[in-house]
Amino acid sequence: MNSISLIGMASVITAGLAIAVGAIGPAIGEGRAVASALSSIAQQPDEKNTITRTLFVGLAMIESTAIYCFVVSMILLFANPFWDYVISAAK
């Protein structure tokens, strides 16, 4: 197997794995965050605004990890330096 096919195969498989595994953790975390926010709103409906705002900020922080994995996956697919190198070396 020459290096072009090896690099192409590794990039595509890793891109898929990165986003597949990287989306599990944040999804579980966000589910738990929303569940506890809902139960606190049910206990104290007056504080709904503060709770909702804190919930959104917390969700954004949790989402960041999934975004990092997504960005790595996109780089592997669209802006892959190893792929560009072997393609330019093969010309």
Partner 1 sequence: MNFMDIKQISPDQVVFFQYHFISLNLTIVFTWAVMALLVIGSWLVTRRLSTAPKISYWQNILEILVTGIQDQISEISRQKAKRYMPFIGSLFIFIATCNLLTVVPGYESPTASLSTTAALAICVFISVPLFGIAQKGVIGYLKQYVQPTVFMLPFNIMGELSRTLALAVRLFGNLMSASKIVAILLAIIPFIFPVIMQLLGLLTGLIQAYIFAVLAMVYIASATQVQEHTEAQKK
Residues that bind partner 1 (CB under 8 A): 50, 53, 56-57, 60-61, 63-64, 67-68, 70-71, 74-75, 78-79
Least separation in angstroms between CB 60 and partner 1: 4
Answer whether 77's CB lies under 8 Å from 12's CB: yes
- Is the CB of 60 or the CB of 87 nearer to partner 1? 60
- Is the CB of 40 or the CB of 58 nearer to partner 1? 58
What is the identity of the amino acid at 70?
Answer: F
Whole-angstrom distance, CA of residue 19 vs CA of residue 79:
16
Whole-angstrom distance, CA of residue 3 vs CA of residue 5:
6
- Is the CB of 2 or the CB of 88 nearer to partner 1? 88
